[in-house]
C-alpha cells in the first residue's frame, strides 16, 4: 500500500534500531523485524548457527555467496570470517542489491572485505577470476534460486574455482528443494555430503 518494498521497510527499521558497526546487533534487529512485522526469506537465527559453526571449523579465506537478497546472510558470513578473508556476494536483483549494500555497510564491512556483485550468477561466475581476482573459493554459500544450484556448481567446477577441500553449503535443498543438485552431490563421487536438519526461517 505504501509503494515501498518490504525489503526497504526492513532497512528503515534497521536504520532506526540497529547499532551501526555491530553486525550481531544488525542480525538481531533483522530477526526482530521478521518475527514481529514482515516475513523475509533470510537465513534466520536457527540456520544461522549452522553457518557460524561451519565457518568456525573451516576458517575460509575466500568465500562466495550466491544470493545476497537483503544482506542478512552476507553479514552472517562476514562476521564469522578470519582476519584477511574476503567475501564475494552475488545478487541478480538490483533493488535487493541496493538494500543489501546499505545493510552490509551499516554492519561495518567495507568493500575490501565484502564485494557485492550485481548480475546473474551464470554470467558472474565465469568472470570471477579475470574481473574480480577470485582465483579459488574455499567456502560457497548457495541461497539463490534452487533450480540454479546444480548449474552453478558445475560452472564453479568447469572454471576450476573450487579450492581443494572446499565447502559448499546449500540452503533449502529439501524444501522447496533442489533434487538434481542433491542427487549430483551424492552420486558424482566428488563430494562428501551431510544434510543439516533445520526449520524454515522464522
Q: What is the pLDDT of residues 91-133, one digit of tens each?
A: 999 999 999 999 999 999 999 999 999 999 999 999 999 999 9
What topology does CATH give the domain 6-188?
Rossmann fold (3.40.50)
Query: Domain map of the chain by residue range?
Result: 6-188
Contact 132, 92 (CB under 8 A): no
Whether the per-residue pLDDT at 1 is higher than 70: the answer is no
Q: Is 131 helix (H, G, I), strand (E, B) or coil?
A: helix
**What is the predicted pLDDT for the residue at 94?**
97
d(CA 178, CA 170): 9
- Measured distance CA(167)–CA(140) in Å, rounded: 6
Instruction: Report the largest interatomic distance among the alpha carbons of the chain, rounded to a whole angstrom.
Output: 51
Please, are residues 76 and 44 in contact by the beta-carbon 8 Å criterion? no
> What rounded mean pLDDT belongs to the chain?
96
Catalytic residue IDs: 143, 146, 171-172, 201
Give per-residue pLDDT as tens, 135-164. Answer: 999 999 999 999 999 999 999 999 999 999
Q: How many whole angstroms separate alpha carbon 61 and alpha carbon 50?
A: 18
Tens-digit pLDDT profile for residues 19-65: 999 999 999 999 999 999 999 999 999 999 999 999 999 999 999 99
Nearest alpha carbon to residue 163 among 60, 22, 41, 50: 60
pLDDT band at 201 (very low <50, low <70, confident <90, very high): confident
Query: Cα(57)–Cα(111) distance, rounded to whole angstroms?
Result: 25
User: Helix, strand or coil for residue 137?
Assistant: strand
Strand partners, 86: 62
Preceding omega of 76 cis (within 30 degrees of 0): no
Amino acid at each position: 500500500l505504501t509503494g515501498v518494498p518490504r525489503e526497504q521497510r526492513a532497512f528503515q527499521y534497521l536504520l532506526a534500531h540497529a547499532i551501526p558497526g555491530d553486525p550481531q546487533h544488525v542480525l538481531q534487529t533483522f530477526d526482530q523485524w521478521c518475527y514481529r512485522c514482515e516475513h523475509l526469506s533470510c537465513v534466520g537465527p536457527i540456520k544461522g548457527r549452522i553457518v557460524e559453526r561451519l565457518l568456525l571449523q573451516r576458517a575460509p579465506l575466500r568465500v562466495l555467496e550466491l544470493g545476497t537478497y537483503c544482506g542478512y546472510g552476507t553479514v552472517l558470513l562476514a562476521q564469522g570470517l578470519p582476519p584477511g578473508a574476503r567475501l564475494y556476494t552475488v545478487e541478480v536483483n538490483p533493488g535487493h542489491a541496493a538494500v543489501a549494500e546499505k545493510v552490509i555497510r551499516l554492519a561495518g564491512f567495507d568493500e575490501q572485505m565484502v564485494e557485492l556483485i550485481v548480475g546473474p550468477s551464470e554470467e558472474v561466475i565465469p568472470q570471477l577470476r579475470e574481473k574480480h581476482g577470485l582465483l579459488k573459493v574455499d567456502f560457497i554459500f548457495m541461497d539463490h534460486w534452487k533450480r540454479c544450484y546444480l548449474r552453478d556448481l558445475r560452472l564453479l567446477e568447469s572454471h576450476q574455482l573450487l579450492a581443494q577441500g572446499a565447502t559448499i553449503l546449500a540452503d533449502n535443498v529439501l524444501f522447496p528443494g533442489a533434487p538434481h543438485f542433491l542427487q549430483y552431490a551424492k552420486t558424482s563421487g566428488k563430494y562428501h555430503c551431510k544434510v543439516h536438519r533445520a526449520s524454515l526461517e522464522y
